[in-house]
Structure 1
């Protein structure tokens, strides 16, 4: 998918929390090492084993990171949404990508080159701390995922996921979660088969804990649902 008009990369970068505090001339320097990527739904951004020359920032859209087995089955590792970035750790390690990245929807991304980031990190320790904090949060989430896969039942994983997805603006009873993508991808993200995922949603529906309406999951009483996360 090609954009009909070029975007203002400097303006976009100036609104990215990672680059808060950079002077306009520094933003301009980062922008010179940044290129826009317009991806249509289904486009592959990179394959496992491809060299990494920087990291990506999602302006809008959704990107799936995952593995594919020799038999063709797929494991979704992460779903990256608007405003989030990915690829920083591999960039610092100077290693090839260990996952593939595919657009789940029409998406616009910025690819920020390793060379321009490394130059800026030498000048700005605050940027360095922000990037380390971001990678630490990603590692913490990975450890949480490993704990969930190892110690929690499928039902606990789904309930925990739904609770985490409740918008921060919603409180009390009669809450609604909108699934960010199709159920098969979310099931893979939770290390479940799609059939198992659907069966658990049906069980939760039968218990009166949720009401499924397409991608919208209505939660009549989150405290009752939370009781099944233990």
Structure 2
């Protein structure tokens, strides 16, 4: 969790409820709020000229979305769309900065979170530069698995659908499915009840 929910509520945050496929903010909007997910999943995405979706990231409970642009006062470079039903805390940016100014510890926590996001971007850029779909998918799974203590093979249940994995790695879904089958054959992943274990 980025910031304790009670701290956000005491600073004036309101809870907003969204149904699946609703937009929290659009690419090009001016950032006026700090958003933190209480429950549900949100994807950060863009669409190209042909309307093809490219998912930048998938966020879940305890994570915030779009916070980095609050610091530079630029428009959102992505959309934030709900995947599932979501509850999100929304705090006006003036209150958010008041909160940070009062608490150096909180500032450090937010800085640490932003650094983590930047690290993810570097890792994904490195993966996307590879022409090999297996390298791209492994890079994504390595990154996600790095947050759990257990490093044994097949100890990590990949929390994404094949479609989401394809979108996050810039692959078409058929290529992702075929590559995951090859990875299972090569004993890189195990598939149980359609779930991927890495």
- Shorter-chain TM band: 0.7 to 0.9
Query: Paired residue for 2:78, among 96, 99, 117?
Result: 99
Report what 1:190 is aligned to.
169
Given that 1:90 and 1:97 are in contact with CA atoms closer than 8 Å, whether structure 2 keeps it comes out as yes
**Structure 2 segments unaligned to the other structure (5+ residues):** none
Report whether the alignment pairs 1:128 with 2:113: no
- Find the aligned partners of 2:85 and 2:29 in 1 and give their Cα distance: 22
Shift of the alpha carbon at 1:116? Answer: 0.5
TM-score, length basis structure 1: 0.75
Contact kept, 8 Å, 2:56 with 2:168, in 1: the verdict is yes
Report the structure, 1 or 2, having the larger helix content: 1
Which residue does the alignment assign to 2:40?
61
> d(CA) in 1 for partners of 2:91 and 2:175?
39
Q: Show CA shifts across 1:86-123 (max 9, x none).
A: 21111111222110011111111111210111112222
| Total equivalences in the alignment | 197
Deviation at 1:207, TM superposition (A): 2.8
Matched, 1:42 2:21: yes
Q: What is the CA distance between 1:19 and its match in structure 2?
A: 4.3
1:212 aligns with 2:194: no
SS in 2 for 1:93: coil
Tell me if structure 1 keeps the 8 A contact 2:158–2:197.
no
> Are the equivalent residues in 2 in contact too, given 1:177–1:216 (CA < 8 A)?
no
Q: Please identify the structure whose Cα radius of gyration is greater.
A: 1
The answer to which structure, 1 or 2, has the higher relative contact order (CA under 8 A, 6+ apart) is: 2
Per-residue deviation, 1:78: 0.4
The runs of 5 or more residues in structure 1 that have no matched partner are 1-15, 220-230
The DSSP-based 3-state class of the residue aligned with 1:111 is strand
**More divergent stretch after superposition (202-211 vs 143-152):** 202-211
